[in-house]
Amino acid sequence: MVGSWIWPDPLRMKKSAGARGAGRKENLGGLFMKKLVKLAAFGAAAAVAATLGAVAPASAHGEKSQQAFLRMRTLNWYDVAWSKTLVNVNEEMILSGKVHVFSAWPQAVANPRVSFLNAGEPGPVLVRTAQFIGEQFAPRSVSLEIGKDYAFSINLRGRRAGRWHVHAQINVEGGGPIIGPGQWIEIKGDMKDFTDPVTLLDGSTIDLEHYGISRVYAWHLPWMAVGAAWILFWFIRKGIIASYIKVAEGRPDDVIGDDDRRIGAIVLALTILATIVGYAVTNSTFPRTIPLQAGLQKPLTPIETEGTAGVGKEQVTTELNGGVYKVPGRELTINVKVKNGTSQPVRLGEYTAAGLRFLNPAVFTSKPDFPDYLLADRGLSSDDTIAPGESKEIVVKIQDARWDIERLSDLAYDTDSQIGGLLFFFTPDGKRFAAEIGGPVIPKFVAGDMP
Ligand SMILES: [Cu+2]
């Protein structure tokens, strides 16, 4: 559909090119057609740009496109919770949770030496007003240590009405965003009523939502107008690609005339003048400013919860003794050597990886509140009880369609078919102990029991 607009009739092109070659003997009709074709092409390009802009807010979950090993073997999210799923514009909610930094962090991903906690949302539909790692206010990038656990919480405030998928997310420098579990949040009200009051160091309060907005327009609109005029001028008068070819061939004088140079010099002078005047005016209007605080914040205190660090001396440790991933059945069977270093018997209740939770229904008698697309509440089976002080090899079966839907089954096609994640063990009185699990499993592509 678009193609027929962009590409002019080849015969006509040939004719007009020939006419130019014969010494600019184009008749008025030919000239008119050429301009029309160029305008049509310009319009089509604008239409394509507008369409691309309009389809941008897609509803898909990008995390699925990340490789299975990346999601299972980098950050293991757990206890992620959204304090509300329905908020009004201006209402606060808290996204909190814990994250375990996987010990065998994959080589292909940069270490989380510079990491930034964030909420993954489709644009600023909620604004962050504060965030904490442990007890520490953590608005900047932080260093996360391999093998440690961290608790986090993000204060969010409703801004744009709608139904949005909101994830916990940590951006790792050199590794990209690592996305945690997501939940649908409904925001009611009108963005027009949204305010974002912030108290400055001098005690005055401003509304960040509207602060300095006229300056933003005043600086951007003139530049955009100049840029648009520049593009339009070259497009209509000489053609951008034709001009580029001539300049590339070393014949800039064919394209750029004295008038062009004059206008260029005037625009350059105006730009420098605008910058100097703008700088002076801004400096005198705001004599006291500090630069954006962008350094690395450290050190952070990891948490010592029931996480893999253990509580006090009590700890459950595990070791992966091989496993099989049956692709047709979406079933992972792993042999795990468990050492119960606690004073009570424990049972395996949950396996979590890439934000997905596979629960043992024998331990979880009621369904916890968690996004359904990530919760396989009957996805894990394991019958063994491990006595205090005992070491025992157990067989764990993890089976659910979510393996496939969330594309963790892709691990069968990864360059190293390794799983990762956390196992949660529970004592009879409900105390929880986490243990990291990870290592290679063998993918199996045929159903049945044959090897
Ligand atoms: Cu999502």
CA of 402 to the centre of ligand 1 (A): 15
Most confident region among 24-33, 51-60, 143-152, 183-192 by mean pLDDT? 183-192
Q: How do 432-440 and 115-120 pair as beta strands? A: unpaired
Q: How do 197-199 and 136-137 pair as beta strands? A: unpaired
CA of 63 to the centre of ligand 1 (A): 7
CA of 172 to the centre of ligand 1 (A): 19
86/89 Cα distance (integer angstroms): 10
Distances (CA, A) of 66 to 62, 82, 111, 406, 414: 8, 23, 17, 10, 11
pLDDT digits (tens, 9 = 90+) for 359-403: 999 999 899 999 999 999 999 999 899 999 999 999 999 999 888
The structure tokens listed for 402 are: 């979510």
pLDDT digits (tens, 9 = 90+) for 267-283: 999 999 999 999 999 99
pLDDT digits (tens, 9 = 90+) for 127-158: 999 999 988 898 889 999 898 899 999 999 99
43/40 Cα distance (integer angstroms): 5
CA of 169 to the centre of ligand 1 (A): 11
The structure tokens listed for 444 are: 């199996």
3-state secondary structure of 49: helix
CA of 59 to the centre of ligand 1 (A): 8
Q: How confident is the model at residue 239 (pLDDT cuts 50, 70, 90)?
A: confident
Contact between residue 180 and residue 76 where contact means Cβ atoms under 8 Å apart: no
Candidate from 184-188, 302-306, 320-324, 428-432 with smallest mean pLDDT: 302-306
Contact between residue 196 and residue 127 where contact means Cβ atoms under 8 Å apart: yes
Contact between residue 235 and residue 228 where contact means Cβ atoms under 8 Å apart: no
CA of 183 to the centre of ligand 1 (A): 7
124/56 Cα distance (integer angstroms): 14
